């Protein structure tokens, strides 16, 4: 039988040996504290995962365009089109042998190989741009937070000989994850770089 009296009331312990109210409150407080610590880390990890995925996706699109140019023996590229405060990406192909040109893309002479696509559609929270305070991929201060730096026409062009126009595009997440995708013109090589905020430098991935 359970003990009776004031002692039993003070302890608030059940007859079956369960937890006291104080013990339950203490356990709950620990659980809330752990969740408070873990939640921001989880948000940052998810943001990092999505931003890295977006950078790798862009690198893949660029590599595919280079391969297509070699196989088709004509210029193939990516056009970065302003879409509000961000950009949309479209694959395009030289249709008349004189390279990729904006007026000819608009007129259809240089046909589109894909519909315009925004990174946000595949990678929630990721956009083109350089975060405030982040230097460019050469470590130099920037005078613009625009993330697309592939020439004034916004076209990254792959040559049938394997080379390309050069340029860098920057993408970031909501939690200061920052990546860059760089194309080296002479070789057409694509590199993915990550900005390490703790050391303030870029690291190739």
Q: How many domains does the chain have?
A: 1
**CA–CA distance, 191 with 184 (Å, rounded to integer):** 8
DSSP 37-101: HHHHHHHHHHHHHHHHHHHHHHHHHHHHHHHHHHHHTS-EEEEEEEETTEEEEEEEE-SSSS---
Would 101 be classed as within a structural domain? no
Would 95 be classed as within a structural domain? no
Q: Which residues contact 134 (CB under 8 A, 6 or more apart)?
A: 142, 178, 195, 197
Would 127 be classed as within a structural domain? yes
Would 157 be classed as within a structural domain? yes
Structure tokens at 184: 């080296």
CA atoms within 13 A on the CB side of 117: 16
Structure-token match 């948000």, residue found: 43
**CA–CA distance, 114 with 77 (Å, rounded to integer):** 11
Q: Give the pairing of strands 155-158 and 148-149.
A: unpaired
Would 12 be classed as within a structural domain? no
**CA–CA distance, 26 with 50 (Å, rounded to integer):** 37
- Contact between 45 and 38 under an 8 Å Cβ cutoff? The reply is no
In this prediction, residue 12 carries a pLDDT of: 43
**CA–CA distance, 35 with 50 (Å, rounded to integer):** 22
Would 186 be classed as within a structural domain? yes
Would 4 be classed as within a structural domain? no
Nearest CA to 79 out of 55, 98, 62, 67 is that of: 62
In this prediction, residue 9 carries a pLDDT of: 44
In this prediction, residue 86 carries a pLDDT of: 95
Domain that holds residue 174: 19-73+118-204
- Contact between 204 and 188 under an 8 Å Cβ cutoff? The reply is no
Stretch (H or E) spanning 121: helix 119-122
**CA–CA distance, 106 with 114 (Å, rounded to integer):** 14
pTM across the whole model: 0.80
Tens digits of pLDDT across the chain (205 residues): 445 554 444 444 445 556 687 767 766 767 666 665 655 678 889 999 999 999 999 999 999 999 999 999 999 999 999 998 899 999 999 999 999 999 999 999 999 999 999 999 999 999 999 999 999 999 999 999 999 999 889 999 999 999 999 999 999 999 999 999 999 999 999 999 999 999 999 999 9
In this prediction, residue 16 carries a pLDDT of: 53
**CA–CA distance, 57 with 185 (Å, rounded to integer):** 19
């Amino acid at each position: 039988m359970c003990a009776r009296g004031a002692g039993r009331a003070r302890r608030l312990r059940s007859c079956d040996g369960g937890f006291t109210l104080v013990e339950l409150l203490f356990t709950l407080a620990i659980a809330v504290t752990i969740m408070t610590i873990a939640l921001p880390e989880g948000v940052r990890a998810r943001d990092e995962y999505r931003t890295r995925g977006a950078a790798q996706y862009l690198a893949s699109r660029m590599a595919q365009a280079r391969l297509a140019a070699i196989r088709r023996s004509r210029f193939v590229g990516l056009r970065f089109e302003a879409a509000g405060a961000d950009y949309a990406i479209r694959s395009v192909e030289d249709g008349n042998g004189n390279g990729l040109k904006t007026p000819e893309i608009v007129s259809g002479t240089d046909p589109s190989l894909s519909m315009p696509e925004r990174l946000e559609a595949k990678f929630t929270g990721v956009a083109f741009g350089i975060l405030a305070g982040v230097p460019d991929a050469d470590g130099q201060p920037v005078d613009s937070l625009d993330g697309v730096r592939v020439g004034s026409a916004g076209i990254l062009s792959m040559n049938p000989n394997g080379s390309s126009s050069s340029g860098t595009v920057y993408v970031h997440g909501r939690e200061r994850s920052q990546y860059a995708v760089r194309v080296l013109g002479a070789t057409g090589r694509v590199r993915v770089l990550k900005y390490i905020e703790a050391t303030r430098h870029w690291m190739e991935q």
